[in-house]
Amino acid sequence: MGLLPTPAAWQAALEARHGQALQAKFSAATVAICGLGGLGSHLALSLARAGVGKLILLDFDRVDLTNLHRQQYKASQIGQPKALALADNLREANPYLALEPHVVRLTEDNLAPLLAEATLVCEAFDQAEAKAMLVNAVLERFPEKFLVAASGMAGLGSANAITTRRVSRRFYLCGDGVSDVADGLGLVASRVAVCAGHQAHMVLRLLAEEYEP
């Protein structure tokens, strides 16, 4: 195994790609990712590679064989808590990333302290009820935080149908808004990754103070 680059070399490489001013904004940010499945695990990896300073990883579930076709886990990690397994994988991609993994099911009662430090919150749950709970709670309790959520990424429909739209001043929604995991084919790795890419890109745009109209 080769030697890791020094922290200074790592930072210089990021600044060479993004520019010093923009990278400073990424490095100063703390992003909470709620749900670490197909959406959340891809989203987290993109943000780690972009040099976002800290990720708060939140999921109660464990890695299962059925996850491996579309989520950023390895066969050797089956049975491990997703929050801890993903933290290990992210450290391989970015050894200087600050991580705060929590093996926890987010509820209305416990989310406030878990999300308090985050600059921005990402919703990446599978279940509609959990999505609605998180969105409503963040909008009500943390009106100063940006929220990037997802709705509609199932099936083999065109990837071009997945978009990002601004719902309100601090709330953005990615997906096609129509397809449902319970209909037809369900979740396909490539289309889920497209939606996760939309979420990750919107996070970086918001940190750069770039907003959708």
pLDDT bucket at 64, cuts 50 / 70 / 90: very high
Domain ranges of the chain: 19-154+163-207
Percentage of residues in the chain having pLDDT higher than 70: 98
pTM of the model: 0.95
* Main-chain dihedrals φ then ψ at residue 92, nearest 5 degrees: -70, -35
CATH superfamily placement of domain 19-154+163-207:
NAD(P)-binding Rossmann-like Domain (3.40.50.720)
CA gap 84, 107 in Å, rounded = 20
Query: In whole numbers, what is the pLDDT of the chain averaged over residues?
Result: 95
pLDDT at 171 over 90: yes
